[in-house]
Amino acid sequence: MLSDSVAIIKLTLLCLVLCALFLPLIIIVFLKVKFAKSYRINNKNIITIGIFHPYCSAGGGGERVLWAGIQALQSKYKNVQIYIYTGDLDADRDKILNNVEKLFNIKLEDNVNFIYLFQRKWVETKNYPYFTLLGQSLGSLWLGYEALTLLQPDIFIDTMGYAFTYPLFKYIGGCKIASYTHYPTISKDMLRHVYRRVIVHNNRQVIARNPFLTAAKMMYYKMFAFLYGIVGRTADIIMVNSSWTEDHINSIWKCPLRTHRIYPPCDIEKLVNLPLINDEEKGDIIRIISIGQFRPEKNHPLMLRAMYELRSIVDENTWQKIRLILIGSTRNNDDEIRVKDMKDLSKHLALDKNVEFQLNISYAELLNALQQGTIGLHTMWNEHFGISIVECMAAGLIMVAHASGGPKADIIETQTGSRNGFLANEAEEYAQIIACIIKMTTNEKDIIRNAARSSVNRFSTEHFEKEFIRTLEPLFRSE
């Protein structure tokens, strides 16, 4: 009896092991059979392109890349149907496209359609107070599955960095895969900050101060980076937006021959031709312009702290002329709460009379604000590129950006004789640089402005479209 029981237990364990080994394979085979019969455009002359961008109405730099990329595809290929996977359920097709034209001055042709996703909540940060990276990534896999059940494209392009969807669309959907990565989900810098126990928005104080929690988070980050590298390498073509992003993607995905640096499209054509107006025409007001979505990583509070420090440096008469103008879009209720918190902080620091908020403004209003501005301000640590930085420089603003990421690596030059802007780290340093710019003569300001305008041609929309089409061309070749 005992021997029979042992045999049964061994047989049961063997069955469990075999199930664990073969169940994923069985699921994959089932899904491949299922999607082999799923919907595709029947006309062989039509190429179906599915673009994964769940927040296509957000109105930020990533969305400019999306719409400029679509415009480039439309101008090159007449036999394509473009479908955008979006979770913006409250916006119909006409509303979205009208908003694109209003915000980005991009008018698209009629072959753009939208596939609406109802499971976008699974990629939102608020659902994952712990293990956020892994939770969002697995959530994107579920969202990608929903997208694939609604449309199986010939070419799948991810423009938001959801790398965990690539194996799904490639091995189950049979799609060709391209990605445009703005910001790596995990980077060497994030690992370095955890190792050094630095307190930042993605490494909370309770973890940074505890060596055991730090060790556990390091193990978690390394495991996630390993998985991130596996899924990322399944992309056929990889595009990145800056040398900083390229460095991190190459270090984790390890496929540099398939990785192409394509700077994002910056609307510099009109901006570089805006006339520079003098201080008298600006009403003798010194406007410091910030452009950026109200997301936590943009670090808007640092701007307010810099203004607080600036007040102690400049005289009262100069202070009365200074205005910090925060321009940006709000994507959801969390962003609106963030704006309210910013307004409360400005009141707490007694800055409310010197700080203005301009939310979801039109393109024409943006042009006017840039022309009236004197200084551009950007405070995000490790900004992946910085479209708004380039646009401020093209418009003739003297830029002060964070000394890290794309702004430091690709955009701003600080060497004597070729300076086109300034870099800073802490609030006091920002304040000192702003005070220095205010004291400059008109000629000194013009030298920096002209150098900045001359340096931005490589970031033009025309250059982006040309490189975008050239890089994606292999996906359109007949097999």
356-403: pLDDT as tens digits: 999 988 888 999 999 999 999 999 988 889 889 999 999 999 999 999
Task: Decide if 343 contacts 416 (C-beta within 8 A).
Answer: no
Query: What DSSP letter does each residue of 446-478 carry, written as one string?
Result: HHHHHHHHHH-GGGBHHHHHHHHHHHHGGGGS-
pLDDT at 208: 52
- Answer yes or no: do 340 and 212 share one domain: no
- Answer yes or no: do 215 and 346 share one domain: no
In 125-242, which residue ranges form alpha helices assigned H by DSSP? Answer: 132-150, 166-167, 188-195, 205-208, 211-232
pLDDT at 170: 96
pLDDT band, very low/low/confident/very high, at 72 (cuts 50, 70, 90) = very high
- Answer yes or no: do 338 and 243 share one domain: no
pLDDT at 292: 87
pLDDT at 126: 85
* Residue 19 maps to a domain: no
Largest CA distance in the chain: 101
Report the percentage of the chain scoring pLDDT > 90. Answer: 63
- Cα–Cα distance measured from residue 197 to residue 205, given in angstroms and rounded to the nearest whole number: 9
* Residue 22 maps to a domain: no
**Order of strands across the sheet that contains 112-116:** 112-116, 80-86, 47-52, 155-158, 176-181, 237-240, 259-261
Mean pLDDT of 159-185: 95
Of the two residues 333 and 348, the one the predictor is more confident about is 348
**CA atoms in the 13 A half-sphere facing the CB of 282:** 21
pLDDT at 15: 53
C-alpha to C-alpha distances, 458 to 62, 297, 463, nearest whole angstrom: 18, 26, 7
- Answer yes or no: do 251 and 328 share one domain: no
Residue 295: is its pLDDT beyond 90? no
Residue 130 identity: Y
- Answer yes or no: do 137 and 169 share one domain: yes
pLDDT at 95: 92
The C-alpha angle 351, 355, 359, rounded to 5 degrees, equals 145
187-191, 209-213, 335-339 — most confident range? 335-339
pLDDT at 265: 92
* Residue 71 maps to a domain: yes
Cβ-based neighbour number of residue 124 at 10 Å = 16
56-60, 244-248, 347-351: segment of lowest average pLDDT: 56-60
* Residue 36 maps to a domain: no
* Residue 341 maps to a domain: yes
What pLDDT, in 10s, does the model give residues 2-44? 555 555 554 555 555 545 544 554 555 455 555 554 545 555 6
Beta pairing partners, 239: 180, 260
Two structure tokens written together for 475: 């996906």
C-alpha to C-alpha distances, 230 to 32, 138, 217, 262, 354, nearest whole angstrom: 20, 14, 20, 23, 49
pLDDT at 58: 84
Q: Which domain holds residue 161?
A: 47-265+462-476
Task: Decide if 116 contacts 147 (C-beta within 8 A).
Answer: no
Cβ neighbours of residue 78 under 8 Å, at least 6 residues apart?
A: none
pLDDT at 96: 93
Query: What DSSP letter does each residue of 80-149 carry, written as one string?
Result: EEEEEEE--TT--HHHHHHHHHHHH-----S-EEEEE-S-GGGG-GGG-SSSHHHHHHHHHHHHHHHHHH
Residue 466: is its pLDDT beyond 90? yes
Residue 262: which H helix or E strand, with range?
A: none
* Residue 193 maps to a domain: yes
Pairing label, strands 155-158, 422-424: unpaired
Task: Decide if 358 contacts 376 (C-beta within 8 A).
Answer: no
In this structure, what are the phi and psi dihedrals at residue 228, rounded to the nearest 5 degrees?
Answer: -60, -40
* Residue 82 maps to a domain: yes
Task: Decide if 144 contacts 169 (C-beta within 8 A).
Answer: yes
- Answer yes or no: do 326 and 226 share one domain: no
What pLDDT, in 10s, does the model give residues 422-462? 999 999 999 999 999 999 999 999 999 999 999 999 999 99
pLDDT at 212: 66
Residue 336 identity: E
- Answer yes or no: do 418 and 467 share one domain: no
Give the count of domains, the chain: 2
- Answer yes or no: do 304 and 326 share one domain: yes
- Average pLDDT over all residues of the chain: 87
What pLDDT, in 10s, does the model give residues 100-119? 988 888 999 989 999 999 99
Mean pLDDT of 78-98: 93
- Cα–Cα distance measured from residue 174 to residue 234, given in angstroms and rounded to the nearest whole number: 12
Residue 51: is its pLDDT beyond 90? yes
pLDDT at 356: 95
Residue 58 identity: A
The pTM of this model reads 0.79
Task: Decide if 55 contacts 331 (C-beta within 8 A).
Answer: yes
Nearest to 248 by CA among 409, 53, 120, 103: 409
pLDDT at 32: 52
pLDDT at 278: 81
What pLDDT, in 10s, does the model give residues 249-293? 999 999 999 999 999 998 888 899 888 888 778 888 999 999 988
- Answer yes or no: do 196 and 296 share one domain: no
- Answer yes or no: do 255 and 324 share one domain: no
- Answer yes or no: do 357 and 472 share one domain: no
pLDDT at 11: 54
Report the Cα 421 to chain-centroid distance in Å. 23
CATH number for 175: 3.40.50.2000
pLDDT at 195: 44
Mean pLDDT of 121-134: 88
* Residue 68 maps to a domain: yes
**Order of strands across the sheet that contains 355-359:** 355-359, 322-328, 286-291, 375-377, 398-402, 422-424
Secondary structure class of 311 (helix, strand, coil)? helix
- Cα–Cα distance measured from residue 53 to residue 159, given in angstroms and rounded to the nearest whole number: 6
Sign of CA dihedral 54, 59, 62, 63: positive
What pLDDT, in 10s, does the model give residues 138-170? 999 999 999 999 999 999 999 999 999 999 999
- Cα–Cα distance measured from residue 244 to residue 463, given in angstroms and rounded to the nearest whole number: 19
Cβ-based neighbour number of residue 318 at 10 Å = 15
Nearest to 125 by CA among 302, 272, 334: 334
Report the percentage of the chain scoring pLDDT > 70. Answer: 85
- Answer yes or no: do 88 and 182 share one domain: yes
